[in-house]
Chains A and B, each alone.
Chain A
Amino acid sequence: MGTLALGFLAAWTAVAAYVGWLGLQQHRLSKRLDAAQQRDTTAAGSVRSRAA
């Protein structure tokens, strides 16, 4: 029974670790996306003000 539990524990730990890693990547990507969009908006604003 111990071996069976170990097998299933290993499988679910690996899946949970992969899902956790995906979540971490998503979090980092969201932060980078926000920063890039912020820079984009700021740059567009400064171009508009210079044009005006």
Chain B
Amino acid sequence: MTRGRVLVAMSGGVDSSVAAALLVRQGYDAVGVTMKLFHDGGEIPDRPCCSLDSVNDARRVAESLGIPHYVLNLQDEFGHDVVADFVAEYAAGRTPIPCVRCNTFTKFRDLLAKADAIDARWIATGHYARLADGRLQRGRDDAKDQTYFLWGIDRGVLDRLILPVGDLTKTETRAVARELGLLTAEKPESQEICFVPDGDYVKVLERELPADAPALSPGPIVALDGTVLGTHDGFARYTIGQRRGLPGGRAEPLYVVALRPDDRAVVVGPREALLGRGLRAMTVRWLVDPAPVVGTTLHVRVRHRATPVAGTLLAVDGDAVEIALETPVHAIAPGQSAVFYDGDVVLGGGVIAAGRRTLPVRAA
């Protein structure tokens, strides 16, 4: 007896290949899909949808597992929800994480709609995260945990989500892939943003923004006291915490501590100036019900793979929150995610609106 139909997102990589294989082994009626998310054959305008090697890999894995496989064209949706936002965020002086929005919108909203159309009770991916008691939890492999990118999904999705490799370490995943003879077993890890060629996000901005866009135009490099130390060729080329590309020859190295689109300034300062003792997050989503209340102690992660630090929920204002951190954290960058944990459980998360250099006054 089948355990129901599951739509499994197959990227052509080893993690989702193993996810599909495990679902088949567990008796699910698995249907594999590969999302076509962006146009990668720039030279051939009439053929926007062809020949990604990864699509072929996914198709061959599905074939070897004896499950159907489809390629879904989500380029318009991805272009709008992910790529356009990515560009707009950089243009606004923030540092976006497109993977978060891809999960929130493309995978767990648009792809879920496809699952509905084929009567699939479940949706599965190769993410390193776990589900227990209806709650999203960190993956067993701490080095691979991907919950940082998953906080934005609708809580209702958790009830339909299967994450087959969340209980495995990457080493174990590869071992399963080898054991099953999957052709993707030895595929190297992809760490880059899928639509950014050669890891150079500025290329994407240069392609998508007008040539005279402020974010890519010269502006001042300014010290915290307002002294102009030099010029740069576009604030979108800088990220909070960055050292490279700044004036040198000083006793104390300089870091980017803020980007100020209003006057195109890249604000620099010493390392201490990067220390944040709190943060404000917006578009917050809670994955637990009831949501944490003001005064709750939680752990906060402000970048992928960082060790969560203890914090307190100081204020909730609609879908914005104010957080105090017990230990100062370096380089809290607007646009990145703040993800809230209780042990292994993901409570929720939000997009960082601002870091706070001084500890906010606690609510009485």
- To the question of whether A and B form a pair in one complex, the answer is no
